A and B are shown apart, each in its own frame.
Chain A
Amino acid sequence: MPETTDRELTFAQAVREALAEEMRHDSRVCILGEDVAEAGTPFKVLSGLVEEFGTNRVFDTPISEAGFTGIAVGAAMTGIRPVVDIMFGDFLTLTMDQMVNQAAKIHYMSGGKWKVPMVLRTTLGASRRSAAQHSQSLHAWLCHVPGLKVVIPSTPADAKGLLKTAIRDENPIIFFEDKMMHHKLKGLVPTGEYTIPLGVADIKRVGKDITLVATSSMVQVALGAADMLAEIGISAEVVDPRTLWPLDEKTLIDSAKKTSRAIVIDEGYGRYGVTSELASVISEGAFYDLDGPVLRMGAMHVPIPFSPPLEDLTVPTEKMLFDAAKKLCSKS
C-alpha cells in the first residue's frame, strides 16, 4: 500500500470511491440493487454514483432479491461484471439458491468453461435496534460453500482495496460491510491507486502476550480491549483475516505461536460459526505452542432482540474480551 495516507474517509466513502474507480476503469462494471440509484441506498453508501454513471450503469431494481441476484449471475457469465447490493445481510436468505446452487457451482459443474465474476455487497451487524430480521451476521453461511469467496473488511482503507480486488476477480464474491461502520468509522485512505489481495491477513496491532483474531466490527472491539489490556501490562496482538475465504491461515497460526494464547472474536453467531473455524485452524496449527485453549466469542445464540438493553447483551464487547483475555493470560 502506498505511504500517502493524507485523507480521512468514512467506510462508506471508501466503498463508494472503490466502486467509482472500478466503474471508470471498466465499462462492464455496473450496480444492481434496491434504491441504489437516486437514493444511493438507505445507508447512503452509493450516493453520487448515479449522477456520474447514469441509470444505464446503476440499476434500481424491484424488491426482488432472488430475481436480480439471479440476473447478476447470468449477466456475469455473459460478459459484464455486476455488483449486487443486498441492503441487509438478513435478505441473503432470499438469494441463497442463486448464490449457493447457481453462482458457486457453475464454474465447477461446467468443467471450468463458464465463470461468474460478480460481487454481492451486503451488511452484517447488530446494534441498530432493528430486531431479529435486520440484525444478523450470516457470513458463516457463505463461507461454508465452496466456489464462493467471502470478504469482510474492518477499515475504510481495507474496504477500498479489497472491493477493487473483488470486482476484478473472476469468481462470485460476497463482500460484508458492518452497517454501523458505514458512517461512524473513519480512517486514513491512500490517495493513489491500490488494491489489496484476497487471502492476506493484516496485523492491526503488534503484541506479544496474546493474539486477538477479530473480524469486521470486532476489530475495533479488539483494539479497544488491547488498549485496556496494555494498561495492566498485557500486550495483545490484533489480527484481522480480512477475507474468510480464502483464509490466510499462516498469519493466524504464526501469531498464536508467537504469543501462545488466542481468542477469536466475530459478530456472527458463536455456535457453528466463523469463530469455530478460526479457532480450529489455530488449534491445529499452533497446538504445541499454546498455553491454553483457543477461546471463541461471537453473538449469543438467540435471534437479535429489539429492546436496547437486551440487544446490547448479544454482541461481544471490549469489556467481555478484556476479561476473557486477562483470565486466559493469568491461567498460563
Chain B
Amino acid sequence: MTPQTAEAINTFSKELALHAYRQMVRIRMFEEQVNELYTRALMPGLAHLYSGEEAIAVGICEALKKEDYVTSTHRGHGHCLAKGATPNLMFAELLGKEAGYCHGKGGSMHIADPATGNLGANAIVGGSMGIATGAAFSAKYLNNGLVAVCFFGEGALGQGLLYEVLNIAQLWKLPVIYVCENNLYNEYTHYSETTAGDICARATAFGVKAESVDGQDVQAVYSKAKQLIDAARAGDGPAFLLCNTYRYTGHHVGDINRDYYRTKQEEQEWKTRRDPILLHGERLLQEGLTDKATLDALESEVREEMKAAVEFAIAAPYPALEEVEMHVYA
C-alpha cells in the first residue's frame, strides 16, 4: 500500500521510489492486458488506455492519503490502480462481471471505490470537476483534513464547468487540486487547435496557484504534488497542476490508424526517450537503489499478478439479471 511519506518534500525514500516504480509497471501491464482483452473481443464497450501517462497518477496518488478523494476520467484505470484498487475487481468490472467494483454496471469508464476514496471515473469530459470540488467542500465543512484531486485531460479545458468551480474553490479556499494531464490530443485533435492562450493562466486568472511539471518524471510529479497537497490540507485553498505527458496509443483501443493526426515517429520518440518507467528505472539504477535483476523480477511478478487477475475476471460470473433494477435508488 501507499507508504505514508514523512520525509523531506523533494526526496523520494528508497522504499517510495521502488514502490512508485512497481505502481507504474502495474498500470502499464494492466493496460497491456486490457488491450489484449479488447482485441480478443473479450471486453465489451470501449477501452481508453493510460500507457505513457503513468508517472502522473502514481506521483499524485503517492502524495495522497488513502482516505483522500480522487475523481477520474474516461481514461481512468491508472488513477484507480494508483489510488489502491485491486486488479481482480477492476478486470471483473471491465468484463461486466458481478465481482467487479460496480457489479458490472459501470465498466471501464466508471470504476468507483469508496474504500480508496475513488469517487469514480467519469465519461463526461470535465464532468467530475464539480464532484471533486464538492468533496473538497465537504472536507472543509466537516473539517476532516481531507483533500480532493480532480484528474482531467487537456480536452476538458474547453468545458465551462472548470471555470465555475475554479472560481468557487478559490473564493471558498477549498482543498482541491486540479490536475490537468496534457497528453497533447483531445481525442483525435492536437490541443493547439482547441486551446487558446496559456493553460496555467486559466487558473491564475482566478488567483489559483498554478504550476507545471514534467509528467514523465514521477519524482518531479510527486514533489510538486506533495507541496500542493500539503498546502491545501493546511488551508491554503486550491491549486492547479499541469502535467505534460503523452498518450502512447489512440484515443481508444480501436483508434489504430492515427497518421492523419500524428506521426509514428512522434510516438516512437516519446516511447524510447521519454518513457516514465524507463526514466525512473534508470534513475533507480544510477542511484544504486536497486539492480537490474530486481527490476526484472518485479516485472515478472507484476505480469503474473495481472494475468491472474484477468483469469479471475474471465472465470467470474455475470451479475444475476435481477441486478438490472438494483441501485437505481439508495
Chains A and B come from one and the same complex: yes
Q: Which residues of A contact B (CB under 8 A)?
A: 28, 30, 56, 59, 61-62, 64, 66-80, 97-98, 101-102, 106-117, 146-147, 149, 170-171
A106 touches B168 (CB 8 A): no
A72 touches B134 (CB 8 A): yes
Residues of B within 8 A of A73 (CB): 130-131, 134
Residues of A within 8 A of B167 (CB): 62, 64, 67
A113 touches B127 (CB 8 A): no
Name the CB-closest residue of B to A110. B112
In-complex Cβ contact of B330 among A28, A66, A112 (8 A): A112
A149–B135 alpha-carbon span in the complex (Å):
23
Given A71-B134, A71-B168, A79-B138: A106 touches B105 (CB 8 Å cut-off): no
A98–B127 alpha-carbon span in the complex (Å):
8
A171 to chain B, nearest CB (A): 5
Given A72-B134, A75-B137, A78-B69: A101 touches B124 (CB 8 Å cut-off): yes
Mark contacts of B111-133 with chain A using CB atoms, 8 A cut-off: 1 yes-contact digit, 0 otherwise. Answer: 01110000110101001111111
- With A74-B134, A102-B131 already in contact, 17 other A-B pairs whose C-beta atoms are closer than 8 Å: A70-B161, A71-B133, A73-B134, A74-B135, A75-B138, A80-B138, A80-B141, A97-B124, A106-B112, A106-B120, A109-B112, A110-B106, A111-B327, A113-B112, A117-B330, A147-B328, A171-B329
Is B165's beta carbon under 8 Å from chain A? yes
A114 touches B133 (CB 8 A): no
Residues of B within 8 A of A76 (CB): 134
Residues of B within 8 A of A115 (CB): 330
Q: Give the segment of B78-86, B95-103, B246-254 that binds chain A.
A: B95-103
A92 to chain B, nearest CB (A): 15
Q: Could you tell me which residues of chain B, from 215 to 268, have a CB within 8 Å of some CB in chain A?
A: none
Is B326's beta carbon under 8 Å from chain A? yes
Residues of A within 8 A of B197 (CB): none
A97–B130 alpha-carbon span in the complex (Å):
10
For the complex of A and B, 3 pairs with smallest distance between CB atoms: A70-B130, A74-B134, A67-B164
A76–B160 alpha-carbon span in the complex (Å):
22
Name the CB-closest residue of A to B162. A67
Is B171's beta carbon under 8 Å from chain A? yes
Q: Could you tell me which residues of chain B, from 124 to 157, have a CB within 8 Å of some CB in chain A?
A: 124, 127-139, 141-142, 144, 148
A34 to chain B, nearest CB (A): 12
Residues of B within 8 A of A69 (CB): 130
Given A110-B102, A111-B100: A77 touches B134 (CB 8 Å cut-off): yes
Q: Which residues of B contact A (CB under 8 A)?
A: 69, 71, 100-106, 110, 112-114, 119-120, 122, 124, 127-139, 141-142, 144, 148, 160-161, 164-165, 167-168, 171-172, 326-330
A67 touches B165 (CB 8 A): yes
B231 to chain A, nearest CB (A): 21
In-complex Cβ contact of A71 among B112, B122, B137 (8 A): B137
B142 touches A77 (CB 8 A): no
A77 touches B329 (CB 8 A): no
A78 touches B138 (CB 8 A): yes
Name the CB-closest residue of B to A60. B171
Residues of A within 8 A of B112 (CB): 106, 109-111, 113-114
Residues of A within 8 A of B138 (CB): 74-75, 78-80
A61 touches B135 (CB 8 A): no
A146 to chain B, nearest CB (A): 5
A106–B135 alpha-carbon span in the complex (Å):
14
A68 touches B119 (CB 8 A): no
B165 touches A108 (CB 8 A): no
B330 touches A97 (CB 8 A): no
* 22 pairs of residues in contact across A and B, judged by CB atoms under 8 Å: A66-B160, A67-B130, A68-B168, A70-B161, A70-B165, A72-B134, A73-B130, A74-B119, A74-B138, A77-B119, A80-B137, A80-B141, A102-B127, A109-B120, A110-B112, A110-B120, A111-B105, A112-B326, A113-B114, A117-B330, A147-B328, A171-B329
B130 touches A98 (CB 8 A): yes
A320–B165 alpha-carbon span in the complex (Å):
47
Residues of A within 8 A of B132 (CB): 74
In-complex Cβ contact of A113 among B102, B160, B172, B328 (8 A): B102
A98–B132 alpha-carbon span in the complex (Å):
12
B45 to chain A, nearest CB (A): 13
Residues of B within 8 A of A101 (CB): 124, 127
B156 to chain A, nearest CB (A): 12
A229–B137 alpha-carbon span in the complex (Å):
54
Most buried by A among B105, B128, B172: B105
A110–B119 alpha-carbon span in the complex (Å):
9
A77 touches B135 (CB 8 A): yes
A112 touches B327 (CB 8 A): yes
A114 touches B119 (CB 8 A): yes
B171 touches A111 (CB 8 A): no
B124 to chain A, nearest CB (A): 5
Residues of A within 8 A of B135 (CB): 74-75, 77-78
A66 to chain B, nearest CB (A): 5
Residues of B within 8 A of A110 (CB): 101-102, 106, 110, 112, 120, 327
Given A78-B119, A114-B112: A107 touches B330 (CB 8 Å cut-off): yes
A188–B85 alpha-carbon span in the complex (Å):
54
